[in-house]
Structure 1
Amino acid sequence: MRISVCIATYRRPDRLDSLLEDLAWQRKIPVEVIVVDNDAAGSARAVVERQRASNLPFELRYEVQPVQNISLTRNRTVALASGDWLAFIDDDERAPTDWLRQLSHCAARHPADGVLGPVVPVVPDKAPAWIRRGAFYDWARLPTGSEVPPNRLRFGNVLLRAAALHAVPGPFDPAYGRTGGEDGDLLTRLVQRGARVLWCDEAIVHEPVEPSRLSLRWLMLRALRGGQDFARHRQNGRYGPLGALGRVAFVLRALLQALLSAALSLLSWPLGLHHAVHWLLKLAANVGKVSVFLGWHYREYGGQAT
């Protein structure tokens, strides 16, 4: 199995440096690692050149994609990759030595076009107590070999068959390039075309939670964007057809869930701030769903909301 590891990066040279060191110690060595820098200034270039000089066990390729757009950046990694399988990992994650071997073994054991693994958050000890108790950064996990439900399809730790990627336009849609959600959009399109995407619970990567994300504001905005992603995929038929009545029902259900979440947030406040925040995030997600049908989009990756 010839695997290319694809990394889209933006102004995280220290994190990227640590990730490249992790990849050099993998038990399953990739044939190449592709780094595409979405910073027009090329802030990752020095890291890549230093790593190249360290006698890496794989080819390390680097390009700058100057237009700020995560979809275009990911598309460039796909275009540069020569492997039969492409593994995607975020530039702020850490890969244990067995990561790539576990993904590849799962793909070999189970007939699949893609394998997802868990991203385990590493919350710093200095984080507020309500954050440490709330598990707000955790991903849902599944038994190994399970098919991943469409609403849980996301990147951060995924191995995909190159032929499946090359068979779809893009493959990442540039319309999601400033808002995010390009990963779920691509994976749901692949599944609609018949691709099987399975879970491998042993293929763990770790994501140190940055200090800038240890806030209610960041969590609320991420929940809002998650709700918007879900609504956009629903609008676009990624989870099945949605007619006019279905749209009305979707909005009314989101409004009702938003009101219920607001009430439960107030009621649960005396039980602990983390309980209240849990419902506040549900509120933000449902506001995000409704906002998409009103034509508003939050741009997580730069620029103003539209």
Structure 2
Amino acid sequence: MNVSLCIATYRRPDRLALLLDDLAAQTRPPDELVIVDNDPDASAEAVVAARLAIGLPFPVRYDRQPVKNISLTRNHSVALAGGDWIAFIDDDERAPAAWLDQLCSAVRDHAADGVLGPVVPVLPANAPAWIRRGRFYDWTRLRSGQPVPPNRLRFGNLILRASLLHGPAPFDPAYGLTGGEDGDLLTRLAQSGAHLVWCDEAVVHEPVESARLTLGWLLRRALRGGQDFARHTLAGRYGSNSLGARARLVLRAAAQLLAATLLTPLSLPFGRHHAVHWMTKASANLGKLTVFWGWHYREYA
């Protein structure tokens, strides 16, 4: 396997430096590393230059994509990649030494076109107790080798056959400021027959930034997640997008919004984390409904 590892980065030089150290220590290093900086001020350039001066066990391609759009940035990284396989990791994650080797092994073991792995959140020491009890940042984990359900497909830790990313724009620029470009791409690939499986051993860690330890951030992320689900549903990514399917989506979201709103105050005596759980459910279902009147929360704007 000839593997290009792609990183889209935006104003996280300290996090990127730590990740580069992790990648240098991989038991199976990438055959090349592609870093595309979405910051017009090129905040990652000095970090990359410093690590190159120390020495890295693989060639590095660094470039800028100055237009604020995560899809355009990812597309540029794919265009620069020369490998037969392309792995992706976020610029704020940490990769244990065996990470890439485990992804590659899973490709071979399961004859997969793509492999996803878990992103394990790491809360800072000052995280509030209700945040810790709520487990709001956890991903659903699956059995290794199990096909990943369409509504669980996302980036952050995966490898894909490069031939699946053909064309000038595999990531839809319409998702460039809202997010959701990863789920859109992966569900399209799954619909076209790509075999995408899980590898539970290929763990990466994501230190949770202090700015995300707030109720407001959790509600905004839940709202965006609901919008992503509705947009993918309306695009036919999860099955039929007939008029009946759209009506069922609206009715179900409205009913779940009402139920979650009612359960929020009722659950508060049992702990703040329970109330916040239902608040995020309400926000997610509100997000589904807002798609029908054309409003999209632009998280990356």
- TM-score, normalised to structure 2's length? 0.99
1:98 partner letter? A
- Separation in structure 2 between the aligned mates of residue 274 and residue 143 of structure 1, nearest angstrom: 28
In structure 1, the partner of 2:21 is 21
In structure 1, the partner of 2:169 is 170
In structure 1, the partner of 2:97 is 97
The 3-state SS of whatever aligns with 1:250 is: helix
- Separation in structure 2 between the aligned mates of residue 292 and residue 274 of structure 1, nearest angstrom: 27
- Separation in structure 2 between the aligned mates of residue 209 and residue 27 of structure 1, nearest angstrom: 26
2:149 partner letter? P
- Structure 1 position 67, deviation (Å): 0.3
> Quick check: 2:75–2:168 contact (8 Å CA) kept in 1?
no
- Between stretches 140-149 and 233-242, larger displacement belongs to 233-242
The 3-state SS of whatever aligns with 1:207 is: strand
2:279 partner letter? L
- Separation in structure 2 between the aligned mates of residue 230 and residue 170 of structure 1, nearest angstrom: 21
- Separation in structure 2 between the aligned mates of residue 92 and residue 29 of structure 1, nearest angstrom: 19
- Structure 1 position 169, deviation (Å): 5.9
Question: What whole-Å deviation, never above 9, does each CA across 1:12-71 have from its counterpart, x for those lacking one?
Answer: 000001001100000011111100000011111000101111111000110000100000
In structure 2, the partner of 1:225 is 224
Structure 1 residues 1-306: aligned runs within 5 Å = 1-166=1-166, 170-302=169-301
- Structure 1 position 248, deviation (Å): 1.6
2:84 partner letter? D
2:108 partner letter? A
Moved over 6 A (4+): none
1:253 partner letter? R
- Between stretches 239-248 and 39-48, larger displacement belongs to 239-248
- Separation in structure 2 between the aligned mates of residue 79 and residue 221 of structure 1, nearest angstrom: 32
1:38 partner letter? N
Question: What whole-Å deviation, never above 9, does each CA across 1:64-98 have from its counterpart, x for those lacking one?
Answer: 00100000000001000011111100000000001
The 3-state SS of whatever aligns with 1:198 is: strand
- TM-score, normalised to structure 1's length? 0.97
The 3-state SS of whatever aligns with 1:4 is: strand
The 3-state SS of whatever aligns with 2:269 is: helix
- Separation in structure 1 between the aligned mates of residue 284 and residue 55 of structure 2, nearest angstrom: 46
Structure 2: runs of 5 or more not aligned: none
The 3-state SS of whatever aligns with 2:159 is: strand
Question: What whole-Å deviation, never above 9, does each CA across 1:129-173 have from its counterpart, x for those lacking one?
Answer: 10011100000000000000000000000100001112x562000
Q: Identity of aligned pairs, percent?
A: 65
- Separation in structure 2 between the aligned mates of residue 244 and residue 118 of structure 1, nearest angstrom: 35
- Separation in structure 1 between the aligned mates of residue 275 and residue 219 of structure 2, nearest angstrom: 12
1:212 partner letter? A
- Structure 1 position 184, deviation (Å): 0.1
Structure 1: runs of 5 or more not aligned: none
- Structure 1 position 245, deviation (Å): 2.1
- Separation in structure 1 between the aligned mates of residue 152 and residue 168 of structure 2, nearest angstrom: 22
> Quick check: 2:154–2:183 contact (8 Å CA) kept in 1?
yes
The 3-state SS of whatever aligns with 1:53 is: helix
- Separation in structure 2 between the aligned mates of residue 125 and residue 43 of structure 1, nearest angstrom: 28
Question: What whole-Å deviation, never above 9, does each CA across 1:104-129 have from its counterpart, x for those lacking one?
Answer: 00001111110000000001121111
- Separation in structure 2 between the aligned mates of residue 261 and residue 169 of structure 1, nearest angstrom: 42
